[in-house]
Chain A
């Protein structure tokens, strides 16, 4: 029973009703202090119900450990027995814990392994880092957007190449909004995502390590992250897709950096523009993201390639991003290098171990959620 489960929501709701009824029925018999206590209980249970509902929307705290424990606790999530179901048509979601050597950040990371990953040990796959919003967590990709099913469908239909997709935390604490930047005197999220995660993936998964095969995707704050990381690290990423992303971090990074090199419009106007591809998508009704997207598109010029995709209707919410994700993943796959075979002479094929992470979902069946 995780903090984002329906059961917790119903328990909180029941507590709210019980508190209200208790206040009403026993009012006459209660002393004054007891009335105050019950009124406080009413408000507390109401707040709890609301917060649980919000958490169910954004999955900021997918587990109790992430709520009470240390940052996005490594022990998060109940482990399910590994499935040996056929991986021919369905990818798998595997959970790792990435201990960042350079950044010092240690958080869980979920990984989507495409269909056939286990059966072709010599193949090196392209990689997409998928970033989450704030407040949120990678679990929103897995649950609310049902990303495994979307990827299975796109890959299975030939619209997308088999790709390893990473879902890392981009913050050591759910309450800290890093915007994937290296905060001055704060978490070094940018280092974690651009140094530690790639190093971990190189060591543990059969992936391509050259920049042509690395892409980024993200929604909301993660959309800013994807654009920001692609513009700042063109030697590592070839393309990025931003779903309702912004052009500025909207937080204080320190040293005024949020107004200069982390402000993407400023960056495009004042610093050399790299030859990367960007896909900017947002709902026309999402005013702030729309304004940011248009400013970016206006400031961008060659060698930057920009593809714009506006959605009529929608907003800044999970339903909109769910509608955006399949075209964005397809576009990314069309912008990245293909899966290749490792050179036969290289010792690499035998050194790539089978993933040791916790296998959480062997198929996209709706009951196969990573939690609950």
Chain B
């Protein structure tokens, strides 16, 4: 009989009536026994009355839809899902790992990357502690490099390192985009390949792009707002006339011969860095505020990091300033993402496990982000990484 059905309710009402009638009937009979039967009858009637009312309320509100719900236990602890090792974790370890504990960068050549219309293999930066915390999955910062920024592998690595030390760990991917690079590559193909090769999360990443690539960046964010809810644009230095409307600013591209710059530039950030919600803040009052960001939906967080002429021209060598802006943009983007976390306590449907059907399960010690001694060392698979 259903807990919320009419039959049970009718039974309860009939039982209440019967108990009341019986109580009245025995009230003046049964000799001294009536002093036991009377209170018993009264209390039984009362209890059945409460049950009847309770059944009506439960029927209308469906608090307990069935008998099983009455006896359920709510213990949701004890099970978590394993975080599966990235396909390149073993290869990274074989490379000597993260010796200096500062994070390491390598050119990433996953299968099929040549179809992505990139100017070169993406540079991937794995943060400090990546190999140590095998139970964590990392958010990713995707940086679009259109080749006109003057960024070099060294400066990009240094900027990623700087952001990692000031804000926190994240995987950083520098994609050498071309005019043929499509948003779909950045929203699904590249993330899928990265999820195969590294322990990365599947949403809430952040995107960093030079202002000249704002068009592609906006399209990417608009196509995958769940993956890229935050966008930082880096504006070149000393170009107050450059408009961020997707047009390429002329001649910003001196290859900027620069030193590796291993020192942290985090002490000085461009003063114009500020987050805002929907409209990108005009970085300078004289700028036209119309940007392509007007097409982005509410909830997307954008910022613009501008290299001010004051900080670039006078004191710093040319390359360092550009790197400061990149590091600031990366630091801001990193702050928009969650920290690396262990696999969530599983809900009924949302399993945070990658590729469980592709490879044997490698359960890592669950419920702790602590490094494990017997960490799995999967091989790099087919991925080629130099």
Instruction: Flag if B336 contacts A337 (CB, 8 Å).
Output: yes
| B34, B43, B299, most chain A CB atoms within 10 A | B299
Question: B residues 238-252 with Cβ under 8 Å of A?
Answer: none
Smallest Cβ-Cβ distance to B65: which chain A residue: A285
CB distance from A235 to the nearest CB of B (A): 4
Quick one: closest B residue to A162, CB to CB?
A: B339
Inter-chain contact A275/B369, CB cutoff 8 Å = no
**By the criterion CB–CB under 8 Å, are A277 and B298 in contact?**
no
Q: A274 an interface residue at 8 Å Cβ cutoff?
A: yes
Most-contacted residue by chain A among B50, B168, B335 (CB, 10 A): B335
Chain B residue with the shortest CB-CB distance to A45 = B46
A261 within 8 A of B: no
- Could you tell me if B222 and A314 are in contact, using CB atoms closer than 8 angstroms? no
Contact A331 B350 (CB under 8 A): yes
Known contacts A24-B38, A313-B68, A334-B204; A161 and B230 CB within 8 A of each other: no
Residue pair B42, A20 in contact (C-beta under 8 Å): yes
B64 interfacial contact with A, CB 8 Å: yes
- B168 and A340: CB pair below 8 A? yes
Query: Is B343 interfacial (CB 8 A cutoff)?
Result: yes
| Minimal Cβ-Cβ distance residue in A for B331 | A340
* Interface residues as binary, B339-363 with A (CB distance below 8 Å gives 1, 0 otherwise): 1011111111110000000000000
Which chain B residues numbered 48 to 105 have a C-beta less than 8 Å away from chain A? Answer: 49-50, 53, 61-66, 68-69, 72-77, 80
On whether the beta carbons of B299 and A158 are closer than 8 Å, the reply is: no
A149, B39: Cα distance in complex, Å:
44
A317 to chain B, nearest CB (A): 5
Considering the complex, give the chain A residue whose CB is closest to the CB of B267.
A344
Q: Would B338 and A328 count as touching, CB distance under 8 A? A: no
- Category for how many chain A residues contact B: 35 or more
Asked if B7 is an interface residue, CB under 8 A from chain A, the answer is no
Residues of chain A from 78 to 93 with CB closer than 8 A to chain B in the complex: none
A148 to chain B, nearest CB (A): 15
B64 touches A315 (CB 8 A): yes
A335/B204 contact (C-beta < 8 A), A16-B46, A314-B72 known: yes
| Those of A325-364 within 8 Å (CB) of chain B | 325-328, 330-331, 333-341, 343
Report the separation of the CA atoms of residues A286 and B66 in the bound assembly, to the nearest whole angstrom. 10
Partner of A161, one of B72, B203, B269, B339: B339
B338 & A316 in contact (Cβ 8 Å cutoff): no
Question: How many chain B residues touch A (Cβ–Cβ < 8 Å)?
Answer: 68
Give chain A residues whose Cβ lies under 8 Å from the Cβ of B42: 20, 23-24, 42
**Shortest distance between the CB of A355 and any CB in chain B (Å):** 23
| A276 and B299 in contact, given A46-B50, A212-B229, A212-B336 (Cβ under 8 angstroms) | yes
Taking Cβ atoms with an 8 Å cutoff, the residues of B that contact A are 27, 34-35, 38-39, 42-43, 46, 49-50, 53, 61-66, 68-69, 72-77, 80, 135-136, 166-168, 201, 203-204, 222, 225-226, 229-230, 269, 275, 277-278, 296-301, 334-339, 341-350, 367-369
Return 30 A-B CB contacts under 8 Å, by A number: A16-B46, A20-B42, A20-B43, A24-B39, A27-B38, A46-B50, A157-B80, A158-B342, A159-B80, A210-B301, A212-B301, A234-B298, A238-B299, A283-B65, A303-B299, A303-B300, A315-B63, A322-B76, A327-B344, A327-B350, A328-B347, A330-B341, A331-B344, A331-B347, A334-B204, A334-B338, A335-B204, A337-B335, A337-B338, A339-B339
| Residues of chain A whose beta carbon lies under 8 Å from any beta carbon of chain B | 16-17, 20-21, 23-25, 27, 42, 46, 50, 153-154, 157-161, 210-212, 234-235, 238, 272-277, 281, 283, 285-288, 302-303, 305, 307-317, 319-320, 322-328, 330-331, 333-341, 343
Known contacts A238-B229, A337-B335, then 14 further A-B pairs from the complex at CB < 8 Å, ordered by chain A residue:
A24-B34, A42-B42, A153-B77, A157-B367, A158-B135, A211-B299, A234-B277, A238-B301, A285-B69, A315-B64, A315-B65, A325-B76, A337-B336, A338-B168
